[in-house]
Amino acid sequence: MKTTLSKRAAKVLEALDNPTQTRIIAGIKWIPKGDIKPMQGYSDGRMRLRIGKYRIVFNYMVKNDEEVLYVMDIGSRGDIYK
C-alpha cells in the first residue's frame, strides 16, 4: 500500500519536533492498527488515527488498481476538527 500526504499534512509534519515526527510516521506505517475511528459527518470514508495529543485524518483510495492511504491532515486534538 502506497502512502501519500497532502501539502497541508506534509507542512505540519515538517514543523513538528523530531521525536513527534517519528511517532507520527511510525503510527501511519502501522495503519490499520491503532486507535482508529471513522469520522462522523463525512460520507467519503474519512477516518482518524489518534497518536497522543495528535490526530491524523486519512482516507483509503484506489488509483490505477493500487490501494493508496491518503493522509489529509495532521493536527493537535483541539484544532484538527475545526
- pLDDT tens sequence across 29-67: 999 899 999 999 999 999 999 999 999 999 998 888 899
Separation CA 55–CA 76 (nearest Å): 6
Evaluate whether residue 53 is within a structural domain. yes
- 3-26 burial, b if ≥16 CB within 10 A, otherwise e? eebeeebeebbeeeeeebeeebee
Tell me if 81 is assigned to some domain: no
Per the structure, the complete domain to which residue 28 belongs is given by 2-76
Q: Is 82 within a domain? A: no
Q: What is the CATH number of the domain that holds 12?
A: 3.30.2310.20
Name residues whose C-beta falls within 8 Å of residue 56's C-beta, 6 or more positions apart in sequence.
9, 24, 27, 28, 48, 49, 71, 73, 74
Distance, in Å, from the CA atom of 80 to the CA atom of 39, rounded to the nearest integer, reads 12
Residue 17 lies in a domain: yes
What domain count does the chain have? 1
Q: What is the mean pLDDT of residues 69-79?
A: 95
Is 71 contained in some domain? yes
Give this prediction's pTM. 0.91
